Amino acid sequence: MGQFFYQFFGIGWQGFFDIALNSYILFRLYVLFRGTNVLRVLFAMGIFWVLRQVAVSMGLVVTSWAMQGVIAVAALVIIIVFRNEISSVLQTRDLKSFFWGIPQYQRNTPVHIIVEGVYELAKKKIGALIVLPLNQGVESFVQKGITWQGKLSKEMLVSIFWDDNPVHDGAAVIQGDRVTNVGVILPLSKRTDLPSYFGTRHRAAVGLSEHTDSLVIVVSEERGKITLVKDGQIYDINDRRAFEKLLITHAGQDTAAAGIKKHTRELAVAAAVCLVCVTGLWLSFSRGMETLATHTIPVEFIKSDQNMEIFSSSASNVTLLLSGARPLIRSLGPDRITVKLSLANTVPGTNKLSVSRSAVTLPPGIVLKSLDPSMIEVTVDVPVKKELPVQPFWTGQLSQDLIMTRAATTPEKAHVIGPRQVLTQMETLFTEALSLEEITTSGRISARIVLHPVTIRLEDPKKNRVQVEYTTRKRETVLP
């Protein structure tokens, strides 16, 4: 599986998972904070971060320091200024909608219920203030009021604004088919051109519409008139059908299919942007955190002639200095690195093979900095068998009054296997060094057969010792 990711993406499964997880988190943040100023500040922070990276790469010390400060301040600003939006995102939604759901805003709003409820309120001259947010949230501009989360109905609307209801003074917020909050306090408009008969309720409606894309419905308590406010524009409602049409237009239900398509496209683009951003960030981080590692890898010799045998090599391992992203280096095991040397162009005897970079196979994303040794001497030949006599290798000094008249090994000969070139020139095997110092009389000692050069080996490795039987006598004739 990991190899699959390496082959196709050039990153490990950890990197793939890292990017996917963070892309989704970013996408969820976008979905949850869509339309709020939090997202704009986050976007600005992103721009500052890019500028800081550019400044760092250009060596602009003060600029990068300033950008870092701005980013830190912006993070604080988000937490302090947009605490209402953040808390509403964290508190009001259930886990499913938090991790998975896409807020539909006014798309599922039952417009006819609102129309009927508002007309009922107007008919009974019950003052009302109803907020229908669109894409931009209202949490930053209002005092939250009381969470309601009631299924929308004509009767509920009337009862909320009923004079005896404790929450009738504030505004009711409708999202989808639910009244989410009641008793919400809206910001008042400071406009001076408003009609004199506009009371606080109307000013609040205009005030919110100036800051957000919400649609606010006002029912006058004195006159029983319905007023609709959107984007600072005031519409007096005299016609039920016109009112309904305005609501439908706001909720986007007149172009439902196109709206869904647009909505889906927007989310797809957002998801793609999140993925690209996080991937870029990941690559930036991972490349930025490039580390070095040393691996010692055994060399694999590839034989072309099966009769040929490798009798010795100056090195059996190659030490590789590798660089790459820290996660890649950390997850890199020696089993995923190969060093292969071809013996195709070798001749019997000692050959010098260059360990080139092409001989080293590395996973994607890992770069070979250097290797050691860059040259390996390999002795190859056709193996032959030969029977050689074994001769004792005496060292030291024999006592001057002794003469060694005979020394024989048992067995006299041994079978060795080695390169043809070597064995052709070899006529004798020697024992390990045997000291003459201790010898005082005839005797027998056991001795190991020395295999030199190292390219030869005994046919039976267990028979690597011989018995050396020697005979001494007293020296009779002393030479002048």
Partner 1 sequence: MKPFFKLISMLLLLPAAVFFSSHARARDALSKDQPVLVEAVMCEAIEKFKPVNQAVVFSISLGRVFCFTGFDPVPEETTVYHRWYRQDRLISTAKLVLHPPKWASFSSMQLREADKGPWRVEIVDSQEKLMKTLRFSISD
Applying CB under 8 A, which residues contact partner 1?
389, 391-398, 400, 403-407, 425-428, 430, 436, 470, 475, 477, 479
Q: Least distance from C-beta 412 to partner 1, angstroms? A: 11
In the bound state with partner 1, the residue whose beta carbon lies nearer, of 321 and 404, is 404
Cα distances (angstroms) measured from residue 183 to each of 169, 350, 470, 471: 6, 94, 118, 121
Structure tokens at 407: 């020394």
Structure tokens at 288: 């930025």
The beta-carbon contacts of 12-17 under 8 Å, at least 24 apart in sequence, are 12/327, 12/328, 12/331, 12/365, 14/327, 14/331, 15/282, 15/286, 15/325, 15/327, 15/328
Tokens 């009779």 sit at which residue?
476
Q: How many CB atoms lie within 10 A of CB 201?
A: 20
In the bound state with partner 1, the residue whose beta carbon lies nearer, of 268 and 450, is 450
Specify the pairing of strand 215-219 against strand 128-132: antiparallel
In the bound state with partner 1, the residue whose beta carbon lies nearer, of 305 and 427, is 427
Q: Least distance from C-beta 4 to partner 1, angstroms? A: 58
Q: Least distance from C-beta 394 to partner 1, angstroms? A: 4
- Is 449 within 8 Å of 379 (Cβ atoms)? no
Q: Least distance from C-beta 389 to partner 1, angstroms? A: 8
CA 469 to chain centre: 73
Cα distances (angstroms) measured from residue 167 to each of 159, 161, 182, 183, 189: 10, 7, 6, 5, 22
Asked whether the bond before 453 is cis by omega within 30 degrees of 0, the reply is yes
Q: Least distance from C-beta 418 to partner 1, angstroms? A: 13
Q: Least distance from C-beta 459 to partner 1, angstroms? A: 19
DSSP codes, 90-155:
HHSS-HHHHHT----TTTT--HHHHHHHHHHHHHTT--EEEEE--SS-STTTSB--EEEEEEP-HH
In the bound state with partner 1, the residue whose beta carbon lies nearer, of 125 and 448, is 448
Q: Least distance from C-beta 365 to partner 1, angstroms? A: 54
Count of CA atoms in the C-beta half-sphere (13 A) of 187 = 16
Tokens 């992103």 sit at which residue?
46
Spatial neighbors of 350 by CB under 8 A, at least 6 apart, are 377, 378, 379
- Please provide residue 186's backbone torsions phi and psi, each rounded to the nearest 5 degrees: -100, 155
Question: How far is the C-alpha of 139 from the C-alpha of 175, rounded, in Å?
Answer: 13
In the bound state with partner 1, the residue whose beta carbon lies nearer, of 81 and 436, is 436
Q: Least distance from C-beta 405 to partner 1, angstroms? A: 6
Question: How far is the C-alpha of 274 from the C-alpha of 278, rounded, in Å?
Answer: 6
Q: Least distance from C-beta 391 to partner 1, angstroms? A: 5
Structure tokens at 278: 């996080």
Please count the residues of the chain.
Answer: 480
Q: Least distance from C-beta 436 to partner 1, angstroms? A: 6
In the bound state with partner 1, the residue whose beta carbon lies nearer, of 298 and 411, is 411
Q: Least distance from C-beta 470 to partner 1, angstroms? A: 8
In the bound state with partner 1, the residue whose beta carbon lies nearer, of 153 and 399, is 399
